[in-house]
A and B are shown apart, each in its own frame.
Chain A
Amino acid sequence: MALLELERISAQYPGTTAPVLADISLTLGPQQLLVALGPSGSGKTSLLNLIAGFVAPSSGRITLDGVPVKGPSAERGVVFQDDALLPWQNVLDNVAFGLQLTGVARPQREAKAREMLALVDLAGFEQRQVWQLSGGQKQRVGLARALAADPRVLLMDEPFGALDAFTREQMQELLLQVWQRSAKPVFLITHDIEEAVFLATDLVLLAPNPGQIVERLHLDFGQRYAAGEPARAIKSDPLFIETREHVLAQVFNQRLALQAEARV
């Protein structure tokens, strides 16, 4: 079982002294869906890039099952905000791409890719071209592609940020189903408060300047959905609304504090 650990991570952009992230510690284990929520500038994407291995931390340690993270690898799958699919490959080849890179023979990798496309409700789209898909469909292909490589953990960089409200809700529900079925730890970043509260088993709230964790919450709305409760019922549950408003208040408090700081 995968266990991702971040110990006292700090990071800064090359050539600058101001840290983007300061003293971040996190753990992500099995059955967890960890959501990092924060306004722009709070270092969410930097945090994901660190875990994915695209950039290295200036201090601290990131380990997956005790092995230090050094650079990107197939054991940490990433779903990107703007799908990042390869338009010169059709849908099936895009999903099978990770397996192609590791040298899996065509029949096996296509079988696996078909299985993943079925998992994200895109059976029958195998031969489509990427540019023929809608935004939501592209994100599902991106999710299927990341899952097909069978990563230990799944990282999602504002995956539904560019989608319309209807599609976003569908995708959130799809993600919870896939998370439940694939049993992979998921780390997701978002700036959408309702999305964060709905999906997270564990929610960390990030504040900017420098990016730091100001609150951690343990939630169960996503698990309730996965257990069969309808999404609308959960989202209109007073407890859900209360949690959402609490998080919203926290975000506003930070902003006020920042403004006050700026005035002094």
Chain B
Amino acid sequence: MTSYEASLNTEQVSSADALGDLPSAPAQRRALSTRLISALTLVSLVALWWAVTAFGLIEPLFLPPPSAVLQKGWLLATTGYMESTLWQHLGASLGRIGLALLIAVLTAIPVGIAIGRNRIAQGILDPLIEFYRPIPPLAYLPLIVIWCGIGELSKVLLIYLAIFAPIAIATATGVRTVDPAKLHAAQSLGATRSQLIRHVILPSALPDILTGVRIGLGVGWSTLVAAELIAATSGLGFMVQSAAQFLVTDVVILGILVIAVIAFALEMSLRALQRRLVPWHGQSH
């Protein structure tokens, strides 16, 4: 069962409880039927796609049939497109976002802790982050290209900036909302300032930090693909953009589907990580 389905399931059970139903049997049946409806929606969408292409209602130039996209997918995965296989494009994109995420986590969490704990750090850093955060990253991409060229550095830097702000802000929020009683408890057990951060503040803020990472990754992925559309020689965004220039519609559709699947997988794995790392979150304690 995926986490998405699991969360749906619990929603179903709780709403059944709220209505005063018998909790087990009806809720189970309704949860299953919800998933069934979702599955049916997807199946009918693909069936509709197949139907309009099979009956020639839309030209393949605009919408190739599902089978053609699948075939192209196989071709891309094995022989490649624009001198790279699908895996190489995918690897290029994931490598960029992975590197940017790593640097963002390593820098944004300490910055967030500083903002949350220290008045001076807050005074210095808060306006800076709040100033650049609302700017769409693509708006300052041209400036980054002027400064850093069109190499890997400018793309990683752009995604890094997009991911940094949500993580730093979420960390600061988490740090500010640490239960003062827990801090007092640790202090009265002899905790030093660094021990407080390591043993109380960081674990307390972890749910917020992970939420920040989730939001940051979502923004980062959109930014990455958009940046690759504009300035790149590899990556999923580049693959879609160059295929569009030659009207290779099946590659365009395939690329979009892969981008969607990756975004979904990132979100799901982070939710799983959140459940694993912070099992106490949401428990009444």
Taking Cβ atoms with an 8 Å cutoff, the residues of A that contact B are 52-54, 71-74, 76-78, 80, 82, 84-88, 97-98, 100-102, 129-131, 138, 145-146, 149, 155
Among B182, B195, B280, B284, contact of A101 (Cβ-Cβ < 8 Å): B195
The answer to whether B284 touches A86, judged by C-beta atoms less than 8 angstroms apart, is no
The answer to whether A84 touches B189, judged by C-beta atoms less than 8 angstroms apart, is no
The answer to whether A98 touches B190, judged by C-beta atoms less than 8 angstroms apart, is yes
CB-defined contacts of A54 to chain B, threshold 8 Å: 184, 187-188
Give bound CA distance, A155 to B185, whole Å: 11
Taking Cβ atoms with an 8 Å cutoff, the residues of B that contact A are 179, 181-182, 184-192, 195, 199-200, 203, 206, 278-280, 283-285
Give bound CA distance, A82 to B200, whole Å: 16
**Seed contacts A52-B188, A129-B279; 6 additional CB < 8 Å A-B pairs:** A80-B184, A84-B182, A86-B199, A97-B199, A101-B190, A145-B185
Give bound CA distance, A263 to B201, whole Å: 48
Among B181, B184, B280, contact of A87 (Cβ-Cβ < 8 Å): B280
The answer to whether B285 touches A85, judged by C-beta atoms less than 8 angstroms apart, is yes
Among A72, A85, A102, contact of B188 (Cβ-Cβ < 8 Å): A72
Q: Lowest 5 CB-CB distances: which A-B pairs, in order?
A: A74-B190, A87-B280, A98-B189, A72-B187, A131-B283
Taking CB as reference atom, which chain A residue is nearest B195? A101
Nearest CB in chain B: distance from A173 CB, A:
24
* CB-CB under 8 A for A74 and B280, given A101-B199, A131-B285: no
Of the A-B pairs whose beta carbons lie under 8 Å apart in the complex, a sample of 11, sorted by A's number, is A54-B184, A74-B190, A78-B184, A78-B185, A80-B185, A84-B179, A84-B184, A86-B182, A86-B186, A101-B189, A101-B195
CB-defined contacts of A145 to chain B, threshold 8 Å: 185, 189
Taking CB as reference atom, which chain B residue is nearest A52? B188
CB-defined contacts of A71 to chain B, threshold 8 Å: 187
CB-defined contacts of B199 to chain A, threshold 8 Å: 86, 97, 100-101
Taking CB as reference atom, which chain A residue is nearest B277? A88
The answer to whether A130 touches B285, judged by C-beta atoms less than 8 angstroms apart, is yes
The answer to whether A84 touches B185, judged by C-beta atoms less than 8 angstroms apart, is yes
* CB-CB under 8 A for A101 and B185, given A129-B280, A130-B285: no
Nearest CB in chain A: distance from B228 CB, A:
39
* CB-CB under 8 A for A84 and B181, given A129-B280, A131-B283: yes
Taking CB as reference atom, which chain B residue is nearest A148? B189
CB-defined contacts of B186 to chain A, threshold 8 Å: 86, 97, 101
Nearest CB in chain A: distance from B189 CB, A:
4
CB-defined contacts of A52 to chain B, threshold 8 Å: 184, 188
The answer to whether B200 touches A86, judged by C-beta atoms less than 8 angstroms apart, is yes
The answer to whether B280 touches A78, judged by C-beta atoms less than 8 angstroms apart, is no
* CB-CB under 8 A for A82 and B181, given A97-B199, A101-B199, A130-B285: yes
User: Which of B188, B203, B280 counts the most A-chain CB atoms under 10 A from its CB?
Assistant: B188
CB-defined contacts of B200 to chain A, threshold 8 Å: 86
The answer to whether B184 touches A72, judged by C-beta atoms less than 8 angstroms apart, is yes
CB-defined contacts of B192 to chain A, threshold 8 Å: 101
Give bound CA distance, A227 to B284, whole Å: 39
Taking CB as reference atom, which chain A residue is nearest B181? A84
Nearest CB in chain A: distance from B87 CB, A:
38
Give bound CA distance, A102 to B195, whole Å: 10
CB-defined contacts of A130 to chain B, threshold 8 Å: 280, 285
* CB-CB under 8 A for A97 and B189, given A72-B184, A78-B184, A80-B184: yes
The answer to whether A86 touches B189, judged by C-beta atoms less than 8 angstroms apart, is no
* CB-CB under 8 A for A149 and B189, given A80-B184, A84-B179, A101-B195: yes
Nearest CB in chain A: distance from B83 CB, A:
49
The answer to whether A77 touches B189, judged by C-beta atoms less than 8 angstroms apart, is yes
CB-defined contacts of A155 to chain B, threshold 8 Å: 188
Nearest CB in chain A: distance from B285 CB, A:
4
Give bound CA distance, A82 to B179, whole Å: 11
The answer to whether B188 touches A78, judged by C-beta atoms less than 8 angstroms apart, is yes
Taking CB as reference atom, which chain A residue is nearest B206? A88
Nearest CB in chain B: distance from A81 CB, A:
8
CB-defined contacts of B206 to chain A, threshold 8 Å: 88
Among A80, A88, A131, A146, contact of B181 (Cβ-Cβ < 8 Å): A80
CB-defined contacts of B181 to chain A, threshold 8 Å: 80, 82, 84
* CB-CB under 8 A for A73 and B190, given A84-B179, A131-B285: yes
Give bound CA distance, A54 to B199, whole Å: 19
Nearest CB in chain A: distance from B57 CB, A:
57
The answer to whether A87 touches B190, judged by C-beta atoms less than 8 angstroms apart, is no
CB-defined contacts of A53 to chain B, threshold 8 Å: 187-188
Nearest CB in chain A: distance from B173 CB, A:
18
Give bound CA distance, A211 to B187, whole Å: 26
CB-defined contacts of A102 to chain B, threshold 8 Å: 190
